Chains A and B, each alone.
Chain A
Amino acid sequence: MNRRLMRRLASNVMVGLMVVAVVLAVLPLFFILLDLLVKGASSLSWDFFTKMPVPAGETGGGVANAIVGTLIIVGTASLIGIPVGVGAGIYCAEYPHGRLTWLSRFVADVLNGTPSIVVGVFAWTWIVARQKHFSALAGSVALALLMVPMVMRTTEEMIKLVPNSLREAALALGYPRWRTSLSVIVRTTLPGIVTGTLLAVARIAGETAPLLFTALGSQYLSFKINQPMAALPLTVFTYATGPYEEWHRFAWAAALVLILVVLLLGVGARLAIGRSAVVND
């Protein structure tokens, strides 16, 4: 009797501790969102998404240039980073004893731990310093460098989850190695790879440091990849550190838009996971 009581008590205490841990993990996100909504939502308007910034002191205007800039910079980074990351991930998973596998895993792990500002410095030395002007492309390259190790490792982990029997079934049918990899293994893990990729895109969309001395930021709407370009994180940085009250409100609103974009990508990733769970059953 007494023993049963003790067990029950221990069980309840442990569950209670876990609930506390979950709450502690979720609370910060909740407060961040709440704070952003309270301080940023009031500045959100149609103008905010469609108008250009106005000179300091004037009211109104928007951050259309930064939204377009973020899309272009992150899009270009994805175009560079995703194929490289997915390709390297497939290589590492399919050739676990390949000559380059150990090296690329090691490099990916180091790159994963490299502060993003260091990556930004490299993009600056390689591209900005050589070209002698800031450019969105340099920012994209820096973000792509941050993306590659994330995409690569998730791709590799996803492919490793595919049971070997599936690979053997394809090979036993007379599938060539490359076709086994692409039309059976990668196709089976595609939802997982898409998820990892979306999360990586969400990660880099909010990066500020590597853009500071590459894309630089701009007051104007620009589609020229080889010129300085505005981006949401840069807008948040500039406006938040500026002296004007109006700017601060804009910084909050831009931060809200940024986090909504990231949340949206996260939800997309969740949906992709949901689909893979059905398929992999």
Chain B
Amino acid sequence: MTDARPRVETDKLTAMYGKTTAVKTVTLRFVSNQVHALIGPSGCGKSTFLRTLNRMHELSEGGWITGRVLLDGQDIYDAAVNAMQLRRKVGMVFQRPTPFPTMSIYENVAAGLRLNGRLSGAQLDEIVERSLRHAALWDEVKDRLKVNAMALSGGQQQRLCIARTIAPSPEVVLLDEPTSSLDPQGTQRIEELLFELKQAYTIVIVTHNMQQAARVSDTTSFFYLGTMVESGPTRQIFTAPKSEQTEAYITGRFG
């Protein structure tokens, strides 16, 4: 059953770009086997917050943080933690599909696997197939694994990116508006996929589509102007929000 122990926690997390504050003292916890949605208007800091969870934020120009981010109780900003090892445990899917353009479908999925020591060809084949099945793409590409990944449609490319992200068996999957560049059908496939994926992973998804947050998530956190205004079970956030700002946002009065 669901393990209620928090997988990922932030403790008074503040994220800065140089001297500009993008996220202000956010304390949040995400438990495993659930989908957590981060909503809010553009520029509210939700994407920046997401990027602190796998230390991608520090790669942005002038990006730095204060506070703590814990993965299974371990501070990921501790000097002893290797950011590259961490990112293999906390995978990320981006707004626009980003398959590696020089690689085949197969190589794209295997890209992350090749980083973790030597796997035999058979092991690779097996993991690639499993990941593609998990990402609901296998049936569409099983006969053309050697084809360049750019030959796929946008929606397929995004599912390929999800397969690539889950292939190295991460513990947490972060998704930054993964459907914003897709058509309704592609969006639906991804949303269905999230239900599958949460059986195995802790999922945090940034979206500015509120219907999507309501459809796919178990908990929702509302961000506004860099602060986390309200967080709770999705049903409660959408039916009985405690904060007036949250209510104004979800009823479409701003943002």
Contacts and interface: CB of A to CB of B under 8 A. Distances in A.
A173 B56 contact: no
A52 interface: no
Interface of B: 54, 56, 59, 84-88, 91-92, 94-96, 98, 100-102, 111-112, 115, 148, 150, 161, 164-165, 168
B161 A280 contact: no
Interface in A145-172: 165-166, 168-172
Contacts of B168: 173-174
Contacts of B87: 171-174
A233 B168 CA distance: 57
Interface string A254-281: 0000000000000000000000000111
A91 interface: no
Nearest to A184: B100
Nearest to A281: B150
Contacts of A172: 54, 56, 87, 91-92, 94, 165
Nearest to A175: B115
A168 to B, nearest CB: 7
Contact of B112 (A166, A168, A173, A190): A173
B84 A170 contact: no
Contacts, number: 63
Contacts of B88: 173-174
Nearest to A172: B92
Contacts of B85: 174
Contacts of B94: 165, 168-169, 172
Interface in A168-213: 168-176, 179, 184, 187-188, 190
B91 A173 contact: yes
A176 B112 CA distance: 11
Nearest to B95: A165
A184 B149 CA distance: 14
Contact of A168 (B56, B100, B111, B150): B56
B56 A188 contact: no
A184 to B, nearest CB: 6
B112 A279 contact: no
25 contacts: A165-B94, A165-B98, A166-B100, A166-B101, A168-B56, A168-B59, A169-B100, A170-B100, A171-B59, A171-B87, A172-B91, A172-B94, A172-B165, A173-B111, A173-B165, A174-B88, A174-B115, A174-B168, A179-B115, A187-B100, A187-B102, A279-B102, A279-B148, A279-B150, A281-B101
Given A172-B54, A174-B112, A175-B84, 14 more contacts: A166-B100, A168-B94, A168-B98, A171-B56, A171-B59, A172-B87, A172-B94, A174-B84, A174-B86, A184-B100, A184-B102, A187-B100, A187-B102, A280-B101
Nearest to B87: A174
Interface of A: 165-166, 168-176, 179, 184, 187-188, 190, 279-281
A165 B59 CA distance: 12
A169 B54 CA distance: 12
A181 to B, nearest CB: 13
Contacts of B161: 169
A174 B102 CA distance: 19
A164 to B, nearest CB: 10
B83 to A, nearest CB: 9
A165 B100 CA distance: 10
A9 to B, nearest CB: 43
The residue in A168, A169, A176, A179 that gathers the most chain B C-beta atoms within 10 A of its C-beta is A169
A188 B91 contact: no
A169 B102 CA distance: 14
A176 B86 CA distance: 12
Contacts of B96: 165
Contacts of B92: 172
Nearest to A167: B59
A172 B94 CA distance: 10
A169 B101 CA distance: 12
B75 to A, nearest CB: 19
B173 to A, nearest CB: 11
Contacts of A165: 94-96, 98
